[in-house]
Amino acid sequence: MTFDQAKESFLTTQRQAYSFLSAVALMYWDLQTIMPPKGVSSRSQVLGTLQGEIFRLTTSDAYGAVMDTLAEAPEKLSAREKRMLELAQWSYNRNKKIPADAYEAFSVLTAQANHLWKGAKEKNDYASFSPHLQKIIDYARQFAEYWGYADKPYDAMLAEYDPALLTAQIDPIFSQLLSGTRKLLSRAGENVALPNVTVPPERQKAVGEYLLAAMGYDLDAGNLFTTEHPFTCSIHSGDTRVTTKYHPTQPLSSIFSVLHEGGHGLYDQNVSPELDGTNLRDSLSMSIHESQSRFWENTVGRSLAFWETHLEKVNQLSGVALCDDPKTFFRAINAVRPSLIRIEADELTYNLHIIIRYELEKAIFNDGVNSDTLPELWAAKYEEYLGVRPKTYAEGVLQDSHWSGGSFGYFPSYALGNLCAAQFANAFEKQHGSLSGHVQTPEGIALLVNWQKENIHRYGAEETPRRIMERVCGENINPDFFLQYIEKKLAEVY
């Protein structure tokens, strides 16, 4: 095989895998949003089959030989093609170690388990879900051994979402974050309460679409739908969908869910269309991706300046006043209240929710903890770190969908994303002045979105996380920026 033949074969395989992945993404979105319950089993089998085909395609001996040929003459490749090859080889070398039938069986299991998780959460029935979770854990542990790891088995799971981060690097970051958070908890004082209101789902959807448009999300290249656990689904550059969940008596839940998923959506919509059909269409790391969702949810979405512009319109669309005064609203949405539910947590204590999950996942993979003991360990850690204890499984170990999907190692990216978001905000303000002045006007929002696009979004996976952080912020992940940011906000709130 000549070099040119190998290159064409490599690019063809990339396009084929991308097409399969787009189909899987669309089917997964359908499964999580509008799939009739009786269709779940059949759809899970179809998803497993498709993911098995993607796996076989990208771990075949022929594909490996093609990449070996390209690696012999890297000077003939463009910088973009070299990065595509680098990522493809990493994935190939990692997944080649897993038997294809095991990967396909795992894909079917997790597709089915998500539906079972929903039912278990609704019924507060952990006992029925625990055996399925244990099967997922067993597969994931087996995969960790196949993949190999630098120090601890959990490192293999982290690599799926942030290849350059190990527990040895995250531990000191989280230790500093935990210590700083505990100190700042003493700053909290008397909280402002908002009036109890009821906002029907159709009005909440109108609010959500208004906020998405206000933040620059293109509703002609996406939509807003409902699901049990909000997520964003990127099918290609012209189709990125966000989801939320409506609680009629808790309209703020959907508002901040929409802002969070809208941040993910902006990222995916602004990846360069030139990367469609390649492995560079993916995000460079979930910590960077989560930095964008947390940035819009919190840095922008919980700022006084944003609500000075948008509160009146949101009240109008809601059909009831969530609050009449932006300053009171700002204080209420930033109130510090140690609580049980991660996605409803305030900005300060949110990271404690993540550290708890991080420690539990380390215990699962490094210490052999199994599903039957997780509820009690979960409850004990919540009591230790947040001073609250779940009374039900639904508000405890069953509250998140991640483990049902086998996404062990994902949770740390939320807290790391918070840290990166603070650093990105600092970098933006060094160039363009106060963020508050920009989030009050459409022109300022457009400038902010374009800054994110040019510095972060458009690259997809062309850049590494470390290169992005060092190029944009001048250094890698540093908790000091977040702790300074949240201390300043607490002084304004209290």
Per-residue model confidence (pLDDT) at position 261:
98
The closest alpha carbon to 319, from 220, 215, 413, 204, belongs to 204
Percent of the chain with pLDDT over 90: 95
Say if residues 173 and 473 touch (Cβ distance below 8 Å).
Answer: no
pLDDT digits (tens, 9 = 90+) for 153-189: 999 999 999 988 899 999 999 999 999 999 999 888 8
**Ramachandran angles phi, psi of 65, nearest 5°:** -65, -40
Per-residue model confidence (pLDDT) at position 163:
86
pLDDT at position 284 over 90: no
Tokens 């601890």 locate to 152
pLDDT digits (tens, 9 = 90+) for 302-315: 999 999 999 999 99
CB neighbour list of residue 312: distance below 8 Å, 6 or more residues apart: none
pLDDT digits (tens, 9 = 90+) for 432-475: 999 999 999 999 999 999 999 999 999 999 999 999 999 999 99
pLDDT digits (tens, 9 = 90+) for 33-89: 999 999 999 999 999 899 999 999 999 999 999 999 999 999 999 999 999 999 999
Please give the torsion angle defined by the CA atoms of residues 250, 252, 254 and 260, in that order, rounded to the nearest 10 degrees.
Answer: -150
**pTM as predicted:** 0.94
Q: Which of 261, 297, 361, 462 is catalytic?
A: 261
CA–CA gap between residue 142 and residue 145 (Å, rounded):
5
Q: What is the average pLDDT across 375-383?
A: 98
Say which CATH topology domain 167-493 has.
Neurolysin; domain 3 (1.10.1370)
Cα angle 437, 443, 447; round to 5: 80
pLDDT digits (tens, 9 = 90+) for 29-43: 999 999 999 999 999
- Of 183-192, 243-252, 395-404, 439-448, minimum mean pLDDT range: 183-192
**429 part of the active site:** no
Largest CA distance in the chain: 72
- Calculate the alpha carbon distances from 198 to 43, 324, 328 in Å: 36, 16, 19
Ordered by start, the domain boundaries in the chain are 3-148, 167-493
pLDDT at position 231 over 90: yes
Per-residue model confidence (pLDDT) at position 21:
95
Element (H, E) at 314: helix 304-318
Per-residue model confidence (pLDDT) at position 282:
85
Per-residue model confidence (pLDDT) at position 150:
85
CA–CA gap between residue 146 and residue 356 (Å, rounded):
27
